[in-house]
Amino acid sequence: MRMLGRTAANLFWLSRYVERAENMARLLEVGYRMSLTARREGGASEHLVSMLQAAEMDEAFNAKHEVADVATVSHFMLFDEENPSSVRSCLLAARTNARSVRTALTRDVWETINAAWLEFSQIRPRDVTGARLQDVLQWVKQVSNQFRGAMTGTVLRGDGYMFSTIGGYVERADNTARILDMKYYVLLPRATLVGGDVDIQQWTLILRAASAHRSYRHVYHDRYKAANIADYLILRPEMPRSLRFCMIHINRSLDGLSEIYGTRQDCHLAAEEVTAMLVGNTMERIFQHGLHEFLTEFIARNNRVTETLSDSYNFY
């Protein structure tokens, strides 16, 4: 049976929203941790604001709140219904998408999403402080892992699986690129090779947001260095949140689609263009070209993948 364009779109967005919920939880976790260890007066707020910037939520946040403290920021990122990227909005959108394509999902996938939403909607925002906040963030990440697990373990490797996988990786690549772009200035090569305290803090933020602060050591056997961090999150094919890794999986799924449907489409070209930015490239060349320019272009081209995918397979 051929798949409805809407079903393909729902599957794509289902994974994107789950991934986004996870990314929001990661960012908030980092912001929260850093605010705890802030040594200076006002330092806590500074970290949270910088984290909001990385999530591109600072403007929306400032429009609603005067003070950025743990309570206001975590409420905004977890529960705010008007914030389209809050964990709440993401889980609800994921579930709405899942419900529309219930018959295209396995029971395991559906129950993961459904139970997650039902459980989340039981949480009373005002109870979520301190240790409880960390529990909730951990729980959001677990939901995402469980969702991916259910997808990997129970879903037929047909077109639906491909659309869903692409959605997840497009979102992840976008998220990684945006975090890097928000902090690109602390990653630029400088005369002084040793970073100051502030740099180290920012680097830690970036790495932690990608769950990469420990694995970094396994790959580089070195202290935190700007060039390595950028290399790790952009070019390393083994790093599961790097741009390169995301593109490898997007391409695999697109190849899967062209096999199933027998044709290559505009989206395949669009993904090739993004891939060409990474394969055979080096950080040296990227820095030469300009890191910010590189990331801006990457984000734009990555968006093109979604647009062309929507056109090629009649999403609506």
Residues that bind another protein (CB under 8 A): 1-6, 8, 96, 99-100, 102-103, 111, 114, 118, 159, 261, 313-314, 316
Cβ closest to another protein, residue 158 vs residue 290: 158
**Residue of 207, 204, 148 whose CA lies nearest to 176:** 207
Least Å from the CB of residue 109 to another protein = 14
Least Å from the CB of residue 92 to another protein = 12
User: Are 147 and 112 spatial neighbours (Cβ–Cβ below 8 Å)?
Assistant: yes
Kind and range of the H or E element at 58? helix 58-64
Classify 129 in phi/psi space as left (phi over 0), alpha (psi -120 to 50) or beta: beta
User: Are 140 and 21 spatial neighbours (Cβ–Cβ below 8 Å)?
Assistant: yes
Cβ closest to another protein, residue 3 vs residue 77: 3
Cβ closest to another protein, residue 6 vs residue 33: 6
Which of helix, strand or coil describes residue 314?
coil
Least Å from the CB of residue 3 to another protein = 5
* Structure-block tokens of residue 294: 């590189």
- Report angle CA 240, 241, 243 to the nearest 5 degrees: 110
Least Å from the CB of residue 40 to another protein = 46
Spatial distance between the Cα atoms of 285 and 152, rounded to a whole number of angstroms: 36
Cβ closest to another protein, residue 239 vs residue 305: 305
Cβ closest to another protein, residue 37 vs residue 314: 314
Least Å from the CB of residue 6 to another protein = 5
